[in-house]
């Protein structure tokens, strides 16, 4: 691996680990969601350089809320950044990881720049209001193989 690429990766990892590690979970926990969310966060702490820690007074942080659906902004927005994990349908290990990855700045695997070598998008079946979930991105894939099993890949 050449030095420039390595330093790019390190810079990316550093900015990720510094940018998005402050988290606030709401109090309502009727179905044990908080434990499931914390378990999903722990996998980042043990398997990546990302460290999610509880928020205390920081102004930029992720607020995980039970809203209408599973969604997140892409990357850091500043201020209170809502990651929605609706009680019904979103509080599953892979979905929690998926939305947190979006908050960290990761696109869907099936939108990476080389995706056309691996998947065919059947545009005719995609509702117009969700097309953005399939639009190809100008990603630098850092020589990583395309991963059909990624939590960031939709089902085939």
Cα three-residue angle 123-77-66, rounded to 5 degrees? 75
Is 93 annotated to bind a ligand? Reply is no
CA dihedral 48, 22, 139, 124 (to 10 degrees): 110
Report how far residue 120's alpha carbon sits from residue 21's, in angstroms, rounded to the nearest whole number: 35
Is 47 among the catalytic positions? no
DSSP for residue 109: G
Is 98 annotated to bind a ligand? Reply is yes
Is 21 annotated to bind a ligand? Reply is no
Residue 118: which of 145, 151, 80 has the closest Cα? 145
Q: What is the 3-state secondary structure (H, E, C) of 110-149?
A: HHCCCHHHCCCCCHHHCCHHHHHHCCCCCCCCCCCCCCCC
Active-site hit among 24, 47, 99, 109: 99
Chain centroid, CA 9 distance in Å: 18
149 contacts 95 by C-beta, under 8 angstroms: no
Q: Which residues are catalytic?
A: 99
């Amino acid at each position: 691996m050449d030095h420039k690429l390595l330093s790019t990766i390190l810079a990316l990892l550093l900015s990720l680990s510094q940018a998005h590690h402050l988290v606030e979970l709401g109090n309502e926990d009727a179905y044990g969601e908080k434990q499931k969310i914390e378990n999903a966060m722990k996998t980042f702490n043990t398997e990546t350089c990302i460290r999610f820690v509880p928020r205390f007074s920081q102004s930029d942080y992720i607020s995980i809320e039970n809203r209408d659906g599973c969604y997140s902004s892409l990357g850091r927005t500043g201020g209170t950044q809502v990651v929605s994990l609706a009680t019904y349908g979103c509080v599953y290990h892979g979905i929690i990881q998926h939305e947190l990855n979006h908050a960290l700045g990761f696109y869907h695997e099936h939108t990476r720049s080389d995706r056309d070598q691996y998947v065919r998008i059947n545009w005719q079946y995609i509702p117009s209001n969700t097309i953005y979930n399939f639009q190809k991105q100008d990603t630098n894939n850092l020589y990583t193989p395309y991963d059909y099993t990624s939590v960031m890949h939709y089902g085939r």
